Chain A
Amino acid sequence: MDAATFRELLVKEFNLADLPIDEQTEYVDQIGELVLQGVLIKSLAALDNDQASQLETFIDSGKEAEEVLEFLRSAIPGFTDLVHDEIKAVQADLAASMGQE
């Protein structure tokens, strides 16, 4: 799934199509941040202590977000699956909290 597909999915799922583009973008960005946050939490849970300390050193050395993601991708082979599962989980949580289930 790419960013455009993700956006289309959210617009369809939460009926955002009627909203102005700016508002759509704002909502999509917020949900995207939710997904990113969830991915980070669960990725860090998947790492063992050594990897976690390595990642900490990696971040402390001033690495950028892309490099941190690369680190996670290399440390967690199922990272792409994790991202997809997190998208579904966030989608389910939002749907449940809005009474759409």
Chain B
Amino acid sequence: MPDRSYLGEFELMLLLAVAHLGDEAYGVPISRELEKQRGRDVSVGSVYAALERLESKGLVVSSLGDPTPERGGKAKRYFRITKQGLRQVRETRRVLTRMWQAIPDPKLES
């Protein structure tokens, strides 16, 4: 049975960031991308918590990279959006677009 739940704002942003970054999607660039788009600081812990939630839903998958000295020997954790995740993003966009289109322009202006 397909999952009909819609994504929250932060989750949608995360999925889009992960999809945008492709093979280089790990904690630091994802946080930077969110900071750049939102224009404010992001807690890396929150980013990981939300990504783990998405992973448990099967919308992203993760893998461990090689440890590097500049990271204190800690490995990077790469994320990738799954087919289900992409479907969910498209579905959310479709719903949001339809709702946006249903609102008359004057209301948005005020």
**Does A pair with B?**
no
Q: Which A residues have a C-beta under 8 Å from some C-beta of B? A: none
